[in-house]
Structure 1
Amino acid sequence: MSAPGRSRASTGLCRSQKHSASCASAQSIPRRLYFNNLVDDIWAHKRQADRLAAEEHDANSRPTKNFKPSKKARSSFAFQVVVRMNEKARFSNANSKADIAPLYSLRTYKAIPDFPRTVSEIDELSLASLEDILYHLGTAIPRGRSSKRWELLAEIGWWGLRSIPSRT
């Protein structure tokens, strides 16, 4: 049984019943946010599973439409900041032997999700992941897995490879 002056909805932090009712409604907000995040995670997992299933079904996938930012987007301050941050990351990747500095998306202005941490992880990326990363970087997506891998290495700025195939 609850103490006098406290309702059952209260967690014991509120002294009056009038205040505890508003406190109880405020405590339900984080639960709703947690539930929404959980649902979003479930849907993201389902989308990734669907993407992997589609990739297995169609090993020779066609290139997706390339992303090209509009003139207005290219002139925005956020776009310019992301371009400068990617230039810094490419420079640090050129001088690095092991770890890769992550690049930022020209679409969302955030870090690219599931970006590989090392050069060896690029070999383990699925075809859909390679296409997704190239799409976020706004580059042309070539046909073939090895061409996509070479394009990603060139975009990352990793200079450990001396011979990048020509684009003829």
Structure 2
Amino acid sequence: MSTPAKTPAAQAPKTTPPKTVPAAKKTESLAGDSAVATAKDDTVKAIEKLEIRQKAINTNNVARVANSHITDPEGKLTPLVSIKTGKALEKFPESAKDIQKLTLVQINEILSQLDTERTGSEQARRERLRMQIGLKAIPA
């Protein structure tokens, strides 16, 4: 029996040329990677903001309950924190009577940091602030 003769083509190992990616495709890939990274960063930031907001809401609810038990206008208030930053509110009144000493600008800033409506008369805004703090409305 004779063995078939191998042809040179059959003996040479098969090699495939390396695939080259066009420059446009590389740019698209890099842009896609960047977009994915940006989307992940945005998602992480959004989750962090939600966590700050949720913790601030919880902190403020506890403070409101504590403040709701104050009967003396000079009783020390438990301060609230910003819904936006989670940090203590600046110019927060120390007592219920100190709410009357706040300027309209200060009231608006506190209401803004509590993510609450800032419309109406000055007296309406003071009452809204009292409610946000957890105090009872001033009887008419």
TM-score between the two structures when normalised by the length of structure 2: 0.60
Count of residues in correspondence between the two structures:
92
Partner of 1:57: none
Q: Extract unaligned runs of 5+ from structure 2.
A: 1-45
Q: Deviations over 1:27-70 (max 9, x none)?
A: xxxxxxxxxxxxxxxxxxxxxxxxxxxxxxxxxxxxxxxxxxxx
Distance 1:75 1:112, change over 3 A: closer
Partner of 1:135: 112
Distance of 1:109 and 1:150 partners within structure 2: 23
The Cα of 1:153 is off from its aligned counterpart by: 0.4
SS at match of 1:76: helix
Q: Quick one: which of 126, 130, 135 aligns to 1:153? A: 130
Partner of 1:94: 68
Contact 1:74 1:80 in 2 (8 A): no
The Cα of 1:144 is off from its aligned counterpart by: 1.4
Q: Which protein shows a greater Rg?
A: 2
SS at match of 2:99: helix
The Cα of 1:80 is off from its aligned counterpart by: 1.1
In the alignment, residue 124 of structure 1 is paired with which amino acid?
K
Q: Deviations over 1:10-36 (max 9, x none)?
A: xxxxxxxxxxxxxxxxxxxxxxxxxxx
Partner of 1:82: 56
Q: Does 1:117 align with 2:94?
A: yes
User: Aligned-residue CA RMSD in angstroms?
Assistant: 2.0
In the alignment, residue 113 of structure 1 is paired with which amino acid?
E
Q: Within 5 Å, which residues of 2 pair with 1:1-168?
A: 72=46, 76-97=50-71, 98-159=75-136, 161=137, 163=139
The Cα of 1:162 is off from its aligned counterpart by: 6.1
Identity, % of aligned positions: 26
Contact 1:79 1:109 in 2 (8 A): yes
